[in-house]
Amino acid sequence: MLKRVFLAAFVATVFSSAQAVELSSNFVQSQSGKFSQGGLVVLQLTQGTKVSLNGEALPVVDNYTVLGFGRDARLAQKISFTRGSKSAHVPLTLTKRSYAIQRIDGLPPTMVTPPEAALARIIAQGKLKLAARAGLRRETDFSQRFRWPVKGRISGVYGSQRFYNGEARRPHFGIDIAAPRGTKVTAPAPGKVTLAEPDMYFEGGLVFIDHGLKVTSAYMHLDSLNVKVGDVVAAGDVIATVGSTGRSTGPHLDWRMFWGGARIDPALVAVGSPSP
């Protein structure tokens, strides 16, 4: 009975057509997350179900899959399910986000427009970051509830158009949580460390955790790192401490999330409140 109620609620929220309601319960056991720009959705499929997003097959491990939508993802999306001779093509419309403008002043000019001498280093570090997110880790750590890695005041939100010292730069893709230098940063969910660099040009101390099937979380401006590449962490493990390294004007954690190349809003993934 509970399951029936849950599925009905799920379908009413997510799918628009009555026909999809009937079909989807054949394929999806449970679902969490938001069908929104910046959202991450975890699906627990019925045994043997295959799923694709906009025609691209998604990997499935232990009946779980995950899909995400970037900051400016187009609103019209299509999920397809097949199991045996049954199939369903489900059109859905993402929730549209509106984004703020944020101005950050008082940065050293070299952090707004890096000097020529720093470019080779920045390019090499960009490759390092891409390589750290290139693998397909066939684990389902992403299906756990994500906790806030640090508690504190939110000082910057996902998606904001950023101006640094008055100059327009790329939008902000993380959530900034202000906390004193040295505050412990904990893993929000289990995963494997794929990057642990103490001195990146923009990010300063930087850690990546791979949560499986292309879901990666990133932690920036760290003061000290407690993990190394290859470490497997449990939710709640201390991975680093808060700092103000890289392009930063004060101690805070910049927490980011990715699904493949798509930038996910951590605030849509985390459960509970970031308030201390």
Nearest alpha-carbon partner for 186 in 215, 158, 146: 146
Find the shortest distance in angstroms from Cβ 192 to Zn ion.
24
Q: Binding Zn ion by CB under 5 A: which of 174, 204, 212, 243?
A: 174
Find the shortest distance in angstroms from Cβ 162 to Zn ion.
9
Q: Binding Zn ion by CB under 5 A: which of 39, 49, 129, 176?
A: 176
Which residue, 210 or 254, has its beta carbon nearer to Zn ion?
254
| Residue whose Cβ sits closest to Zn ion | 254
Find the shortest distance in angstroms from Cβ 216 to Zn ion.
17
Q: Which residues contact 147 (CB under 8 A, 6 or more apart)?
A: 186, 188, 189, 235, 236, 270, 271, 272
CA dihedral 61, 236, 183, 273 (to 10 degrees): 80
Cα–Cα separations (whole angstroms), residue 140 to 62, 131, 186, 190, 229 = 8, 21, 19, 9, 19
Find the shortest distance in angstroms from Cβ 118 to Zn ion.
19
Span interacting with Zn ion, options 9-17, 19-27, 100-108, 171-179, rule CB under 5 A: 171-179
CA pair distance 51, 109, nearest whole angstrom: 47
For the window 139-158, what string marks contact with Zn ion as x by the rule CB under 5 A?
A: -----------------x--
In the window 227-266, what residues touch Zn ion (CB under 5 A)?
A: 254
Cα–Cα separations (whole angstroms), residue 126 to 105, 181, 251 = 25, 26, 23
Which residue, 223 or 254, has its beta carbon nearer to Zn ion?
254
For Zn ion, the binding residues (CB under 5 A) are 156, 174, 176, 254
